[in-house]
Chains A and B, each alone.
Chain A
């Protein structure tokens, strides 16, 4: 191992501490004999330092509560969006819709995708505001369910259903149209026998990526929210976390079926 031939790739080995210590002196001599390689080595080292310096500040940022507070939910409870088969179906649906309506889509608000947290934020704000209403909790009542669903689908821009939660003890009260940034959002309100209210919030967001179910707590209400099919969804209420997760799973299955079934 006295005088092996060095090459450019050794610059990387040396820089990344992958070169045996005993080869170092010979390598340094080789660099001195090859000024172009030495310049390259210095440049790579400088770039690395710059990279480290730029990124170092992130370590000192306070950790957002949504990360430090990630709940320990067993996997079977998290059967949300990330299932490949349905995802591909959803992707196919988006492709078809995208292909047909690309021009219209392009003119809409594509450039600022929502984050899941902002969807949940708005859903909770709307829930807290309207769930406490006695007389005007909804804009259109459950007695006009077909009209309600058709109207909200049209305004939000996706094929919606009012998820059926009767198995979990919640009946549809009705729904309303809400503003959300530059888009329209739909809210379906439900109530159980004891008068507890939960709501489902849907907003179209074609630029968004998919996420799994997440939990946000705010103003005494919690919301499970997720992004999928180019939409943001949230199920909000002051019921127990388990009940809310059950409802979120029901809502996910039914809304997903409506959207993917609607365009094939």
Chain B
């Protein structure tokens, strides 16, 4: 934006048309980059929500968002401004998330059980988490990662099956079957949690 002011009010009487064209082109490029950057930054709250639901751990989720943003900024050319920035960013995040899960799995297989902290069902509670929301976060973690992604993209982030299929790189039919199974798993986990809560209350 500062560049615009320079161009408009700056003393450039000696500029010939060639250099003006170059400047204008450069300006156009910059402001296009700025627009893209702004559009991407505006998506951060939703990216954080999706990452937190996927990973639960707050720092880990923000790490995933940061990695996604860095990758996005380094590949701005791959994104045409007409496309939805959200779906493009979700795709980037999906790829990073899957990489991370694969590595965690490899590590888990290789290490003794006592060190198994990768994706445990019961995680330390995040700040200000109520019992009820903790149950939801815990239940999400019991759903297999690829089904968790499908469910969250459609049921929380509001993507269509076709959009989710593009983000996840799978057929639409697979999105649907993953969601169906994820819903069953979520329901079972929430029921378990509710039962445990009832038992605790009764024991008091």
Q: Point out residues on A near B: beta carbons under 8 Å.
A: 8-9, 12-13, 15-18, 43-44, 47-48, 50-52, 54-56, 58-61, 63-64, 66-68, 70-75, 78, 87, 91, 94-95, 98-99, 102-103, 105-106, 110-111, 113, 115-117, 206-207, 209-212, 214
Instruction: Specify the main secondary structure of chain A where it touches its partner.
Output: helix
10 residue pairs of the A-B complex, CB under 8 angstroms, read A17-B160, A18-B176, A55-B53, A68-B44, A70-B70, A72-B73, A91-B103, A98-B112, A209-B100, A210-B103
Q: Point out residues on B near A: beta carbons under 8 Å.
A: 33, 37, 41, 44-46, 48-49, 52-53, 59-60, 62-63, 65-67, 69-70, 73-75, 100, 103-104, 106-107, 110-112, 114-115, 117, 132-133, 136-137, 140, 152, 154-156, 160-161, 176, 179-180, 183, 186-187, 190
A117 to B60, CA, bound (A): 11
CB distance from A69 to the nearest CB of B (A): 10
Supplied contacts A63-B45, A98-B110, A214-B66, 15 more A-B pairs, CB within 8 Å: A16-B154, A44-B183, A47-B183, A50-B136, A50-B190, A51-B136, A51-B152, A58-B48, A59-B49, A67-B62, A75-B74, A91-B110, A99-B110, A103-B112, A106-B112
CB pair B48 A63 closer than 8 Å: yes
Q: Please name the 6 residue pairs, one residue from A and one from B, whose CB atoms are nearest each other, closest first.
A: A75-B74, A115-B59, A58-B49, A54-B136, A95-B110, A106-B114
> Given the known A-B contacts A44-B183, A44-B187, A47-B187, are A59 and B63 also in contact in the complex, defined by CB atoms under 8 Å?
no
CB pair A67 B69 closer than 8 Å: yes
CB pair B107 A70 closer than 8 Å: no
Query: Which single member of B62, B103, B106, B183 contacts A66 (CB below 8 Å)?
Result: B62
Query: Residue on B with the closest CB to A52?
Result: B156
CB pair A78 B74 closer than 8 Å: yes
CB distance from A189 to the nearest CB of B (A): 28
CB distance from B148 to the nearest CB of A (A): 11
A74 to B161, CA, bound (A): 34
CB pair A116 B63 closer than 8 Å: yes
CB pair A110 B114 closer than 8 Å: yes
CB pair B70 A209 closer than 8 Å: no
CB distance from A132 to the nearest CB of B (A): 30
CB distance from B79 to the nearest CB of A (A): 14
